[in-house]
A and B are shown apart, each in its own frame.
Chain A
Amino acid sequence: MKKLINAPDAVVREALEGMEAAHGDLIRVSYDPAYVVRADAPVQGKVGIVSGGGSGHEPMHGGFVGRGMLDAACPGEVFTSPTPDQMLAATKAVDGGAGVLHIVKNYTGDVMNFDMAADLAQGEDVQVEAVVTNDDVAVEDSLYTAGRRGVGITVIAEKICGAAAEEGKSLAEVAEICRRVNGQGRSMGMALTPCITPASGEPSFELGDDEVEIGIGIHGEPGRFREPLAPAAHVVERLSTAIVEDLPYQSGDQVLAFVNGMGGTPLVELYIVYRELDRFLQARGITIARNLVGDYITSLEMAGCSITLLKLDDELTRLWDAPVHTPALRWGA
Chain B
Amino acid sequence: MGRVTSEQVRDWLRRYADAIAEHRVELVRLDTAIGDGDHGTNMDRGMRKAIEKLDGSAPGDIGADLKAVGMALVSSVGGAAGPLYGTLFLQMGSAAAGKDELDLDGWAAAVEAGVKGLQARGKAEAGDKTMVDALLPALEALRQGGELGEALRRSADAAEAGMKATIELEARKGRASYLGPRSVGHQDPGATSSYLLLRTAADALA
Contacts and interface: CB of A to CB of B under 8 A. Distances in A.
Given A112-B121, A222-B182, A202 B32 contact: yes
Interface stretch (B107-115, B151-159, B170-178): B170-178
Query: DSSP majority for the B interface?
Result: helix
B36 A81 contact: no
Given A108-B80, A113-B82, A145-B172, A83 B74 contact: yes
20 contacts: A54-B78, A77-B38, A78-B38, A80-B79, A83-B77, A84-B74, A84-B83, A108-B173, A112-B80, A115-B121, A116-B83, A143-B172, A146-B178, A200-B28, A200-B37, A200-B38, A202-B32, A221-B36, A221-B175, A222-B178
A117 to B, nearest CB: 10
With most chain A CB atoms within 10 A of its CB, the pick from B32, B76, B84, B182 is: B32
Interface of A: 33, 54, 76-85, 107-109, 112-113, 115-116, 139-140, 143-146, 149, 197, 199-200, 202, 204-205, 217, 219-222
A83 B173 contact: no
A146 B38 contact: no
B75 A33 contact: yes
B38 A145 contact: no
B79 A81 contact: yes
B75 A77 contact: no
A107 B36 CA distance: 11
A197 B36 CA distance: 10
A83 B75 CA distance: 5
B175 A113 contact: no
With most chain B CB atoms within 10 A of its CB, the pick from A33, A76, A143, A217 is: A76
Interface string B17-52: 000000000001000100011100110010000000
A83 B76 contact: yes
A81 B28 CA distance: 16
A82 B79 CA distance: 7
B56 to A, nearest CB: 17
A188 to B, nearest CB: 13
Nearest to B76: A83
A146 B74 contact: no
Contact of A204 (B36, B76, B121): B36
Contacts of B170: 144
Contacts of B84: 112
Given A85-B74, A109-B78, A109-B79, A79 B36 contact: yes
Nearest to B79: A109
